[in-house]
Amino acid sequence: MDKPQCVVILDFGAQYTQLIARRVRECGVYSVVLPYSTDFEDIQKEEPRGLILSGGPSCILATDAPRCDERVFSMGVPILGICYGMQLTAQVQGGQAGACDLREYGRVLMTVDQRDTGLMAGLDEQSYCWMSHTYQVLRLPKGFTSIAHTDNCPIAAMANESRRIYGVQFHPEVTHTEQGRLILDNFLKRICDFKGDWNMEAYAEMTVRKIREQVGDGTVLLGLSGGVDSAVAAALLYRAIGERLTCVYVDHGFMRSGESDQVVEVFTKTFPVQLIHVDASEQFFADLQGITEPEEKRKIIGRDFVDVFKREATKLGKRDHFAQGTIYPDVIESGNTKGSAVIKSHHNVGGLPVELGFASLVEPLRMLFKDEVRKLGLTLGLPESLVYRQPFPGPGLAIRVIGELTPDKVRIVRESDKILRDEIACSDLNGKISQYFTVLTGARSVGVMGDERTYAYAVAIRAVTTDDFMTADVAQIPYSLLNHIAGRIVGEVKGVNRVLYDITTKPPASIEWE
């Protein structure tokens, strides 16, 4: 496949740079994000059809304010400066940027002054945009006109149509800018003349090529966690290097019903990789004996996971590279956005790549958001039931058993969780609840079943709706369905005589019980 035509996004340290890249992908265009300080020759090598200069936290007036090589402005390709990128563009082109009288933060009503052609073609006369700035363009460079304004920002967007250089003071990449998507689409398709036919299949092709370049004829080891990300990474690597990929799946014994079987099935049949399936549940249970404190459980599980993985990797003998399914939110969470390797902690494998002396780390999903990873997974042929799995904590059902763990208690959460999942799946609520599961509360109480007295466990149902999992609302499951689910759980899961419904939002509660 030929190298796809791209837009280069020069990153000035904005929070939102990868979001810009994502929006560009949504417009069907391929982008390359480069640090602002990239050598001009390296920018040229990408043969960009357009350039986007991102925002950034710096003050445009500071003597050490970040600047890109000014030759980019004479490359003859269209340029869109966003926030700091607009201020820099104005300054370099002979205009002036400086402090504004009134800073603007948040949703601001914008009036578009030129809507017939160019960047703002087809926009409403007024719409809300998202502003976050202390500085702005005060005087336009020669050849530029103002094409939008707000109450406090007379030059909210600027254009030099003949040179195809544009700037916007607001952030078109965030959803709070109502027509931001249209602005980016105009820039990419009307101004840069992209067709917009870039898609996940193209992403897969390109990533496959990059993996081949990185790995050469070497071998790769990948730890499958049972989750979506590592599965998609494995499918991609399989496409790139086939049997030179070995996957190790450490089953800690705390997976949901049917999940381990599905992982093994998919990665032996659909993607016939070399798969080492290690059932290490005995070791995990043994090491967790008597442990009731949730953080301690997590630590032991993390440590055992690394131990088992390391043992298996050593048994396998030398593999050249190590792969993992790090995705963009993981990179952000770890505060590492500037290139060096991030090893996802927890159910992945800590400092292992370094310890085991791998030549390099392969992270083909590093720039993707979760929903893009899911799309890619479907493109690669992974089943929907795997790709659309609910989020699941690394230590699995172990933290959904409150108190000491036993195989029997894990059975209770697994069986009750399966009933809940099956019932939601065939109800109207399918796809409408962000996360739902059962918890073994640890409380036991008296009940009657038939004519017998019982003294058995209470299981709680947790079901939430949320966008980002940072806050969550309680899902509104109708009582009739809850009654039905409770009846099935008490009737079918041995050891349970009571079912509760958790009606606490997050905060103050968390989503998981631990």
At 495 the three-state DSSP class reads coil
- Please give the Cα distance from 35 to 18 (Å, whole number): 12
Active-site residue identified among 27, 83, 129, 192: 83
Q: What share of the chain is helix, strand, coil (3-state, %, to 5)?
A: 35, 25, 40
Taking a C-beta distance cutoff of 8 angstroms, is the pair 342, 201 a contact? no
Q: What angle do CA 356, 362, 368 make, to 5 degrees?
A: 140
Which one is catalytic: 6, 68, 100, 173? 173
- Token pair of 185, please? 């689409």
Active site residue 83: yes
Contact string (CB under 6 A) for ligand XMP, positions 377-406, x = contact:
--------------x-xxx-----------
Bin 388: left if φ > 0, else alpha if -120 < ψ < 50, else beta: alpha
CB 55 within 8 A of CB 198: no
Q: Does 511 sit near ligand XMP (CB under 6 A)? A: yes
d(CA 368, CA 325): 10
Its sign, for the CA torsion 338, 344, 349, 350, is: positive
Active site residue 27: no
Among 69, 113, 320, 512, binds ligand XMP (CB under 6 A): 512
Q: What is the biggest distance separating any 2 CA atoms in the chain, rounded to whole angstroms?
A: 91
Q: Considering only residues 315-354, where is the footprint of ligand XMP by CB under 6 A?
A: 346
User: Cβ 298 to ligand XMP, closest distance in Å?
Assistant: 7
Q: Which two tokens stand for residue 10?
A: 């020069």
Give the residue among 164, 162, 163, 182 at the shortest CA–CA distance from 172.
182
Pick from 482, 396, 468, 479: which is nearest to 439 by CA?
396
Among residues 97 and 352, whose Cβ is nearest to ligand XMP? 352
Closer residue to ligand XMP, CB minimum distance, 64 or 468: 468
Token pair belonging to 336: 């590492």
**Closest CB to ligand XMP among 154 and 294?**
294
CA–CA distance, 75 with 172 (Å, rounded to integer): 24
Binding mask 430-449 for ligand XMP (x = CB under 6 A): -----x--------------
The nearest distance, CB 506 to ligand XMP, in angstroms, is 5
What is the smallest separation between the CB atom of 101 and ligand XMP, expressed in angstroms? 42
Q: How far apart are alpha carbons 209 and 202 in whole angstroms?
A: 11
Examine the residue annotation and report whether 171 is marked as an active-site residue of this protein: yes
469 near ligand XMP, rule: CB under 6 A: yes
Nearer to ligand XMP, 96 or 510 (CB): 510
Contact in structure between 381 and 446 (CB atoms under 8 Å):
no
- Does 510 contact ligand XMP by CB under 6 A? yes
Closest approach, Cβ 227 to ligand XMP, in A, equals 7
Residues within window 162-191 making contact with ligand XMP, judged by CB under 6 A:
none
Residues touching ligand XMP: how many (CB under 6 A)?
A: 11
Nearer to ligand XMP, 40 or 469 (CB): 469
Residue of 133, 171, 321, 347 marked active site:
171
Please choose, out of 92-100, 173-181, 415-423, 503-511, the segment that lies near ligand XMP by the rule CB under 6 A.
503-511
Positions marked catalytic: 83, 171, 173
Contact positions vs ligand XMP (CB under 6 A): 346, 391, 393-395, 435, 469, 506, 510-512
